A and B are shown apart, each in its own frame.
Chain A
Amino acid sequence: MPGPSSLLIELESVYYTYPGSKFAALQDICAHVGRAEFISVIGPNGSGKSTLARVMAGLLLTSGGRVLVNGLDTSRPESRQEIRRNVGLVMQNPDNQLVAAVVEEDVAFGPENLGLPSAEVFRRVEEALAAVGLSDMRSRPPHMLSGGEKQRLAIAGVLALKPLCVVLDEPTSMLDPLGRQEVLQVLERLAESGTTVVLITHHMDEAACADRVWLLDKGCLLFDAEPAALFGQLKLLHELGLTSTSAGELAYHLAEQGFALPAGIVTMEDMVKFLCRVLK
């Protein structure tokens, strides 16, 4: 068991029901996110992934149970601003989260809201833009950027608040392969540098990059495990209308034809390694 100080977000039997709805969007979610951990969340459409993201960022207050961020209860109004600073949320459509007509001004928006002195705002803008590789585009208007660049800009806008954790709600679903790769590289760099990352995605090959994967269905947390363990559960994934990673699916096809492969083949690398071993 990790000690309490190593936990960044604690979800204690969290329930959430949207006002006016009969069904709980989240039911009895018990989980935790450790410091510097990279977690991905998968699940069918409508399984409660976005709700979970908003609950973790303290934007929605639980209907039952509680959420602690860095030890602070999200339901307490006096800790709201600090929770906002500690947990950044990036949403699916970058167009709707960029607030300024110039790249650097957009990144500056967060630090300006904190009332930091101009020199500090400037430094944070520099750092955040460098972290996502957009330093050369600082004076461009956001609507002239590509999808991948816009989403990296949205991430920079959150990073400028120096959060402990960044939660991303399907940040790549509107992007082309190149844009997706750019965003994913940024996330991997972030995770390496000690920022906690929670990535909601329906690209299984992306989800497999994480340390742990959460599987949601109908508001319940069905699975909380390492990628290798989850992506071997093909029956379960298929029943939910999901897939495994491409390599996992290939292993499944082979198994159906009578070649059960050893467990734990999740990535292209795993697959190539295995085939080299048996075919050479």
Chain B
Amino acid sequence: MPCIEVEELTHLYYPGTPLEMVALRDIELTVYDGEFIALAGSAGSGKSTLVQHFNGLLLPTAGCVKVLGRAISDKQHRQQLWRQVGLVFQFPERQIFSSTVFEDIAFGPRNLGWDSTTVSKLVKDTVALVGLPEEILAADPRTLSGGMLRRVAICGVLAMRPQILIMDEPGAGLEHATRQLILANIKEIQARQGMTVILITHHLEDAAVFAERVAVLHQGVLLSIGPTREVLSQTELLHRAGLKAPFAVELAQQLSQAGIYLPSLPLSLADAAQLLQQMLQTNRVRPGGTP
């Protein structure tokens, strides 16, 4: 079942002025219920503009965007979309405003009109879901580290139990371990609750591990969309879009140029290790690297 249908979407900034700028051109895209899809592209490729249509913050200049079955041009539908579509902006910790973590996470659920017992249960559950200790709820956000703060901010959206979760670079500026943790958590929630996840990223290593499909945007145009393996193997296209293929893909490519062919294309380091191990074994290479 499609939950977002984008048809011939064009979006212009400053239309009709000398500063007119095409942000998106003729985008055709369908997102299905319960999938984890990555929107990849360099800065200025239009990723953020695109997803702002998904919860009704922007309207198409031309074309049509349907979310959960109804067009967003329908004002009533658009104004209620935030109830089902959660949007985690870039650097979401910059939006934290309360003096305790609890209050901040409870902001969205309260706006949904839920009663206080439900809200407080939801807040606690959400914090547990992403693996934060319950004591953190009483903490002052200003005392938390950057990584913690990011996770708290994401909880603020997750606690609203969105059907569709959109995240704009949730790992930007964080160290590797925290980034992995955040994405692994989201993946788990997605699998358990059937939530649809749209991940905006320019870090394809993350897309390789977590996404089922990848869409590549470049200068407002959709260059490619398909299963992760298919899209990430098109290194030339990725390069054209200003992206870098995952290390494993590039390694496989460099090896094939040197005349060494892996039995299949590895997407992650773990994949690559497995394939290489098989080859090393059949070649009877001993540990230490002597054949």
A interface residues with partner B (beta carbon < 8 Å): 44-46, 92, 146-148, 170, 173-179, 181, 202, 241-243, 246-247, 249-250, 253-254, 256-262, 268, 271-272, 274-280
Instruction: Tell me whether B280 is interfacial, beta carbon within 8 Å.
Output: yes
Instruction: Tell me whether B194 is interfacial, beta carbon within 8 Å.
Output: no
A250 touches B247 (CB 8 A): yes
B interface residues with partner A (beta carbon < 8 Å): 42-44, 145-147, 172-178, 202-203, 242-244, 247-248, 250-251, 254-255, 258-260, 269-270, 272-274, 276-277, 279-280, 283, 285, 287-291
With A268-B247, A272-B251 as given contacts, are A147 and B43 in contact (CB-CB < 8 Å)? Answer: yes
With A259-B287, A260-B288, A278-B289 as given contacts, are A241 and B175 in contact (CB-CB < 8 Å)? Answer: yes
CA distance A257 to B43 in the complex (A): 38
From A45, A146, A178, A246, give the contact of B178 (CB < 8 A).
A45
CA distance A256 to B258 in the complex (A): 26
With A45-B147, A250-B247, A258-B287 as given contacts, are A242 and B176 in contact (CB-CB < 8 Å)? Answer: yes
Q: Can you pick out 28 interface pairs between chain A and chain B where the beta carbons lie within 8 Å of each other?
A: A46-B146, A147-B43, A176-B202, A176-B242, A177-B244, A178-B42, A178-B242, A179-B42, A202-B176, A243-B176, A246-B269, A249-B269, A250-B248, A254-B273, A257-B277, A258-B287, A261-B288, A262-B289, A268-B254, A271-B251, A272-B251, A272-B258, A275-B255, A275-B260, A275-B276, A276-B255, A279-B260, A279-B279
- A contact residues around B173 at 8 Å (CB): 92, 170, 173-174
- A contact residues around B172 at 8 Å (CB): 173-174
- A contact residues around B145 at 8 Å (CB): 45-46
**Chain A's nearest CB lies how many Å from the CB of B264?**
16
Question: Number of contacts between A and B (CB, 8 Å)?
Answer: 116
A272 touches B254 (CB 8 A): yes
- B contact residues around A250 at 8 Å (CB): 247-248, 251, 269, 272-273, 276
CA distance A241 to B277 in the complex (A): 26
- A contact residues around B178 at 8 Å (CB): 45, 241
- B contact residues around A280 at 8 Å (CB): 258-260
A-B pairs with the 4 shortest C-beta distances? Answer: A253-B273, A241-B177, A246-B247, A178-B242
